[in-house]
Amino acid sequence: MSQLRYYGHACFSWENQGTVLLFDPFLKDNPFQIAQPEDMDCHYILVSHGHFDHLGDAVAIAKRTGATIISTAEIANLCAGQECKTHAMHLGGTFDFPFGSVRVTPAFHGAGVPGGHACGFIVRQGEQRVYFAGDTALFGDMTLLGRLESIDCALLPIGGNFTMGPKDAAEAVAMLKPAMVVPMHYSTWPVIEQDPGQFKQDVESRLSTPVRILKPGETLTL
């Protein structure tokens, strides 16, 4: 079994057999204030794009812990220039790491750095696969991702305005066909305020896919 912990907004940690992955570590300035950068111990940090609420505290955590930052080449090069250990990837690429594998997926959103592209990740640890969608709009190739990968848990934004909202996220669930969904990137600020309970009701009634709503600070056993 592995443990997925939610820190609010789009920040998660995923621990499996002693390896800890950290996704989009927006902590210090996160309104939910669940943890601080100095509280985090991890081995790898996956960064979906360069906006402040996603790149967040990645550099500070990586420099303190020695964790490897996994991201697109543009983000990886930016972090490497700040004396971080990095592994550069890009859209469509898959790489085998000691813990498992990472497939970099498209995300339809701004990159936050010149010349870059936002992304998501399908990560395998052991026999489990988690899809971290990052900040994205709904896009048709989610159907292909669901066909290529057996997704155990999909972490999907539902906040709207900057990303897809609940209606489009429900359609993403239909396309991806994950075993479970966890909503993210909502209610951090008023502009992305959403009711995750309504999203849960809509998805489960239409698709019978279980939706787990995690409050910031809560942990889910996968």
In a domain, 221, yes or no: no
In a domain, 64, yes or no: yes
In a domain, 166, yes or no: yes
Domain span at residue 70 reads: 3-213
CA gap 194, 217 in Å, rounded: 18
Domains of the chain: total: 1
- The answer as to whether 78 is a domain residue is yes
Amino acid at 100: G
Phi, psi of 106 (to 5 degrees): -65, 150
- Is 90 a member of any domain? yes
Residue with tokens 């999203």: 199
Whole-angstrom Cα distance, residue 173 to residue 154?
8
Question: Residue 153: its pLDDT value, please?
Answer: 98
Give domain status of residue 222, yes or no: no
Per-residue model confidence as pLDDT tens digits over 59-78: 999 999 999 999 999 999 99
In a domain, 164, yes or no: yes
Q: Is 164 exposed, middle or buried (0-12, 13-18, 19+ CB in 10 A)?
A: buried
Residue 10 lies in a domain: yes
- Residue 50 to residues 23, 58, 96, 118: CA-CA distances in angstroms? 13, 10, 24, 8
pLDDT tens for 152-161 read 999 999 999 9
Phi then psi for residue 57, to 5 deg, are -100, 20
- Report the CATH number at residue 170: 3.60.15.10
Residue 115 pLDDT? 85
pLDDT tens-digit readout, 5-42: 999 999 999 999 999 999 999 999 999 999 999 999 99
